[in-house]
Amino acid sequence: MMDQLIASFTQQMAEAIEIGRGMKLSPRHKDIKNVVVAGMGGSGIGGNLVAELISEKMKLPFAVCKDYFLPEWVDEHTLVIASSYSGNTEETLHALEEAIRRGCKIVCVSSGGSMISLAKKAGLDYVIIPGGKPPRGCLAYSFIQQLFILAHYNLIDEGFVVGIEQAIDHLNKEEKRIVKQAKSLAKKLNKKIPVIYSAASYEAVAIRWRQQFNENSKMLCWHHAIPEMNHNELVGWRTPGKYAVIFLRNETDYSRTQQRMNIAKNIITQYTKHIYEVWSKGDSYLERALYLIHFGDWVSYHLAELRKVDPVEVNVIDFLKAELAN
């Protein structure tokens, strides 16, 4: 199932565009001065990606909340996008209720559940996305709806639609090559501890890789962003181990960042010989970011195969939720 979900990534993007074009939202009740996306896990990562996509396009502050509580500055001038694929995410529902109490402008993005029930009861705007799948397998739906919501309120222009369509064409052309290279990299990462590094402007991509390794491949790993990594974690490289380091790279990364990556790579080579680079392809930030995300999704799937684990199963999360319910 997970391989089918990953393979259908561009189909989901195309479908998400149609959903976005058909969404009907009420006018904003007051001037919007900032935006918060509330979401966890596979739903929350969409907010991280959008934050980086719009960083040079939207002039208002944009924050991602992955907790029960909203920042204190959130008020009636805040647009809150509550994103929960299942509609039953405890933390996001708590943040949503807080947003209602504070009089925020709210749009919910979900496949159903308690979130949509609450939205209907409170008279909130909501966007329904297709349900019944693992949230992490539906990234396209969540982040694209967020972009349409921002465009609806004139916080960004609708140029992103053309960008997504171009990214769809780009990924479709690269699909066979991505799958082949991802399978090769997975073999090199098997039985090792992955460490993922990216430029700061692509940290959402690194987070996505980490989360997919955690949930699909059932393995621990960590990530960091450069240049910040150079100011702390670099010092921690002192002991050899079963590490496999992946640098996510772009030809457009800032020149000083690229220098930092090269120097860091040379330093880390003293502690592991398993250092790999994945270079993005694409003519825009969106194409490059989605290329790397799709590549990482396939790596995580092939790692699951090598480790003989079910990439869909998340029993420990289900256990945690059941314990919390008790």
* 33/71 same-domain check: yes
Asked if residue 162 is part of any domain, the answer here is no
Q: Would strands 34-38 and 62-65 be described as parallel, antiparallel, or unpaired?
A: parallel
For residue 73, how many other CB atoms are within 10 A of its CB?
Answer: 12
Q: Let me know if residue 313 belongs to a domain.
A: no
325 part of a folded domain: no
Per-residue pLDDT at 43 exceeds 90 = yes
pLDDT digits (tens, 9 = 90+) for 123-166: 999 999 999 999 999 999 999 999 999 999 999 999 999 999 99
Residues 106 and 197 in one domain: no
Residues 41 and 135 in one domain: yes
Q: Kindly state the average pLDDT of the residues 173-185.
A: 98
Query: Do both 145 and 27 map to the same domain?
Result: yes
In terms of residue numbers, what domain contains 294?
Answer: 174-307
- Of 256, 261, 289, 254, nearest to 276 by C-alpha is 261
Active site (annotated) includes residue 321: yes
Angle between helices 139-152 and 159-189 (to 10 degrees): 150
Supply the Cα-derived Rg of the chain in whole angstroms: 20
| Number of domains comprising the chain | 2
Rounded Cα distance, 12 and 15, in Å: 5
326 pLDDT more than 90: no
Point out the catalytic residue in the list 203, 215, 218, 287: 215
Beta strands 78-84 and 243-249, pairing class? unpaired
* 281-309: average pLDDT: 98
Same domain? 188 vs 83: no
Domain presence at residue 166 = no
144 and 184 fall within a common domain? no
pLDDT at 269 (0 to 100): 97
Last residue of a domain, one of 157, 183, 211: 157
Identify whether residues 105 and 186 lie together within a single domain.
no
pLDDT band at 30 (very low <50, low <70, confident <90, very high): confident
In a domain, 263, yes or no: yes
CATH number at residue 301: 3.40.50.10490
**Which band of pLDDT confidence, cut at 50, 70 and 90, is reported for residue 107?**
very high
Kindly name the residue from 231, 242, 308, 323 that is annotated as catalytic: 231
- Residues 75-103, mean pLDDT to the nearest whole number: 97
Residue 49 has pLDDT above 90, yes or no: yes
Task: Provide the mean pLDDT of the chain.
Answer: 97
**Distances from the Cα of 298 to the Cα of 38, 72, 294, angstroms:** 27, 39, 6
Which has more pLDDT, 325 or 105?
A: 105
| Residue 201 belongs to a domain | yes
Q: What are the residue ranges of helices labelled H in the chain?
A: 2-7, 9-22, 41-53, 90-101, 113-122, 139-152, 159-189, 203-215, 233-236, 255-268, 285-307, 315-325
Q: Do residues 147 and 8 both lie within one domain?
A: yes
Overall average pLDDT of the 295-306 stretch: 98
Q: Is residue 323 part of a domain?
A: no
Residue at which a domain ends, from 132, 157, 182: 157
104 and 215 together in one domain: no
- CA end-to-end span of the chain: 31
**Last residue of one domain, picked from the residues 157, 191, 214:** 157
Q: Give the residue-averaged pLDDT of 9-16.
A: 98
Q: What is the pTM of this model?
A: 0.96
Same structural domain, 88 and 208: no
Q: What are the start-end ranges of the H helices in 54-158? A: 90-101, 113-122, 139-152
Type of residue found at 223: H
Q: What is the pLDDT of residue 249?
A: 98
Token representation of residue 128: 């329904």
What pLDDT band is residue 28 in, cutting at 50, 70 and 90?
confident
Both 196 and 148 in one domain: the answer is no
pLDDT at 106 over 90: yes
Residue 29 has pLDDT above 90, yes or no: no
pLDDT at site 325: 87
Mean pLDDT, rounded, for 162-176: 98
The verdict on residue 315 lying in a domain is no
Query: What is the predicted pLDDT for the residue at 10?
Result: 98
Q: What is the pLDDT of residue 202?
A: 98
pLDDT in tens, 217-252: 999 999 999 999 999 999 999 999 999 999 999 999
Same domain, 84 and 117: yes
CA distance 119 to 96: 9
- Length reported for the chain: 326
- Residue among 77, 94, 274, 321 flagged as catalytic: 321
Task: Describe the strand order of the beta sheet including 222-226 as a list of residue ranges.
Answer: 222-226, 193-199, 243-249, 275-279
pLDDT at 39 over 90: yes
DSSP class of residue 318?
A: H
